[in-house]
Structure 1
Amino acid sequence: MPYPIYQVDAFSSDLFKGNPAAVVLLNQWLPDETLQKIAMENNLTETAFICPQNAELHIRWFTPTTEVELCGHATLASAHVLFNHEEIEGDEVTFYSKSGLLRVTKNDDQLVLDFPIDDIYRVSELPAMMKARSRDKIQEIYRGKTDYMFILSNQADIEDFVPSMDIISELDSRGVIITAPGKDVDFVSRYFAPKCGIPEDPVTGSAHTTLAPYWSKRLGKTSMTARQLSKRRGDLVCEIRGSRVLIGGTCKTYLKGQLL
Structure 2
Amino acid sequence: MELQIFQVDAFSAEPFGGNPAAVIRLESWLPDAQLQRIAEENNLSETAYLVRNGETFDLRWFTPAVEVDLCGHATLAAAWVLFEQLDEQAEVLRFNTRSGELRVSRGADGLLAMDFPAKDPQPVDIPQALLDALRLTEARALYRSDDYVLVIDDAELIATLLPDFAALSVFDVRGIAVTAPGRGFDFVTRWFGPRVGINEDPVTGSAHTSLAPYWAERLGKTTLSCEQGGARKGQLQCEVPGNGRVVISGRAALYMRGTVYL
User: How high is the TM-score relative to the length of structure 2?
Assistant: 0.96
Within 5 Å, which residues of 2 pair with 1:72-221? 72-108=72-108, 109-132=110-133, 134-144=135-145, 146-221=146-221
- 1:13 matched to which residue of 2? 13
Structure 2's unaligned 5+ residue stretches are none
Q: Which is further off, 158-167 or 169-178?
A: 158-167
Aligned length: 259
- 2:36–2:67 contact (8 Å) kept in structure 1: yes
AA partner of residue 68 (structure 2): V
- 1:43 matched to which residue of 2? 43
CA offsets per residue over residues 182-210 of structure 1, 9 Å max, x none? Answer: 00010000000011111100111001001
AA partner of residue 40 (structure 1): E
AA partner of residue 168 (structure 2): I
The alignment's C-alpha RMSD in Å is 1.2
Within 5 Å, which residues of 2 pair with 1:30-69? 30-69=30-69
The verdict on how the C-alpha distance between 1:5 and 1:226 changes in structure 2, with shifts beyond 3 A counting, is same
CA offsets per residue over residues 131-183 of structure 1, 9 Å max, x none? Answer: 33533232211001x11010011210111222121221000101100000000
User: How high is the TM-score relative to the length of structure 1?
Assistant: 0.97
- 2:131–2:138 contact (8 Å) kept in structure 1: no
- 1:137 partner SS: coil
CA distance, structure 2, for counterparts of residue 139 and residue 162 of structure 1: 19
- 1:19–1:201 contact (8 Å) kept in structure 2: yes
- 1:138 partner SS: coil
- 1:136 partner SS: coil
AA partner of residue 36 (structure 1): Q
CA offsets per residue over residues 192-246 of structure 1, 9 Å max, x none? Answer: 0011111100111001001000000000000000000321100000000210000
The verdict on how the C-alpha distance between 1:130 and 1:233 changes in structure 2, with shifts beyond 3 A counting, is closer
CA distance, structure 2, for counterparts of residue 59 and residue 252 of structure 1: 20
- 1:227 matched to which residue of 2? 227
CA distance, structure 1, for counterparts of residue 85 and residue 131 of structure 2: 49
CA distance, structure 1, for counterparts of residue 13 and residue 28 of structure 2: 32
CA deviation after TM superposition for structure 1 residue 55, in Å: 4.2
- 1:225–1:237 contact (8 Å) kept in structure 2: yes
- 1:137–1:153 contact (8 Å) kept in structure 2: no
- 1:250 matched to which residue of 2? 251
AA partner of residue 113 (structure 2): V
Q: Which is further off, 133-142 or 14-23?
A: 133-142
- 1:137–1:157 contact (8 Å) kept in structure 2: no
CA distance, structure 2, for counterparts of residue 51 and residue 153 of structure 1: 43
Structure 1's unaligned 5+ residue stretches are none
CA deviation after TM superposition for structure 1 residue 66, in Å: 0.5
